């Protein structure tokens, strides 16, 4: 049975540009903040307009049950996020969630996070969540971006006691190349759990590297979503066992080995 989903007009408490083209929106959403878990997402749509018609799905970046608010991070890439960017604190957006599955607890105490582009937010939430567990985790976060200015969430990861290593496509910070090139050496002893979110090509590479070393790996998939509730079938991914899964309801978190790349 589906968990309860809250749908309401949420007040924007804060809205900041945190990097070029990247924004963090803080929303007054006590019921979502209380029940959400890392990996889950919300749907957001501007109020008072039908342009664009469809809502957008955003991974939860932070959830503070005590303060009763959640944060999403997004990159301004299309019509929906261009319109969202214009919203100011005090205005409201149509919000529903929390939606989808969440990251399961790691096997063992060593965790590697792999994030690319706007795949970083759920990993920041996950690192923050793990930092509050009674069993201390040894967390290494591999974060990739096209260039240094687009590296986001690093301070939050460090605050959650994660060791952060970065990679950029243009070599302006950290490793010059793909973030996945940093992964193999961390998995040689096979004693880690891997969690990743980012572009599908990056996730496919993470999956290949981790599977070859028999490391348990969980991916938070991104897909175009029109409803977020399993009704439109617009977000399906092919499964290795055959058939398809809806990212919005069976996911977004999947075992890497379950996806047919
Ligand atoms: Fe409609 Fe997933 S977004 S079924």
User: Per 3-state DSSP, what percentage of the chain is helix, strand, and coil (rounded to 5)?
Assistant: 25, 35, 40
Which two structure tokens, joined as six digits, stand for 122? 């759920």
Locus of tokens 């996070």: 113
- Cα-flanking dihedrals φ and ψ of residue 48, to 5°? 75, 15
Q: Are 10 and 93 in contact (CB under 8 A)?
A: yes
Between the CA of 246 and the centroid of ligand 1 the distance, in Å, is 6
Q: Of 229, 246, 245, give the one whose Cα is nearest residue 5.
A: 229
Q: What is the pLDDT of residues 12-53, one digit of tens each?
A: 999 999 999 999 999 999 999 999 999 999 999 988 766 666
Between the CA of 233 and the centroid of ligand 1 the distance, in Å, is 5
- Residue 13: CB atoms within 10 Å: 17
pLDDT surpassing 50 at residue 259 = yes
Q: Whole-prediction pTM value?
A: 0.95
Atom of ligand 1 nearest to the CA of 230: 4
Q: What is the pLDDT of residues 107-155, one digit of tens each?
A: 888 999 999 988 999 999 999 999 998 888 899 999 999 999 999 999 9
pLDDT surpassing 80 at residue 54 = no
Atom of ligand 1 nearest to the CA of 224: 3
Between the CA of 253 and the centroid of ligand 1 the distance, in Å, is 14
């Amino acid at each position: 049975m589906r968990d309860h989903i809250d749908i309401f007009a949420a007040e924007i408490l804060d809205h900041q540009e945190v990097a070029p083209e990247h924004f963090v929106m803080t929303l007054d959403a006590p019921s979502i903040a209380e029940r959400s878990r890392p990996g889950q997402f919300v749907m957001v749509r501007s109020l008072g307009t039908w342009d664009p018609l469809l809502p957008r799905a955003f991974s939860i970046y932070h959830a503070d049950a005590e303060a009763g608010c959640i944060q999403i991070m997004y990159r301004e890439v299309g019509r929906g996020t261009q319109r969202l960017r214009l919203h100011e604190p005090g205005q409201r957006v149509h919000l529903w969630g929390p939606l989808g599955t969440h990251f399961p607890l790691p096997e063992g105490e060593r965790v590697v996070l792999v994030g690319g582009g706007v795949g970083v937010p759920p990993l920041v939430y996950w690192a923050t969540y793990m930092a509050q567990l009674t069993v201390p985790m040894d967390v290494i976060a591999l974060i990739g971006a096209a260039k240094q200015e687009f590296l986001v969430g690093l301070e939050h990861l460090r605050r959650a006691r994660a060791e952060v290593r970065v990679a950029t496509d243009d070599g302006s910070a950290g490793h010059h190349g793909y973030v996945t090139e940093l992964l193999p050496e961390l998995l040689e002893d096979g004693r880690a759990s891997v969690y990743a979110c980012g572009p599908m090509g990056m996730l496919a590479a993470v999956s290949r590297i981790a599977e070859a070393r028999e490391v348990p790996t969980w991916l938070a998939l991104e897909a175009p979503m029109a409803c977020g509730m399993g009704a439109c079938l617009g977000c399906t991914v092919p499964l290795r066992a055959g058939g398809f899964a809806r990212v919005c309801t069976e996911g977004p978190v999947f075992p890497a080995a379950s996806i047919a790349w």
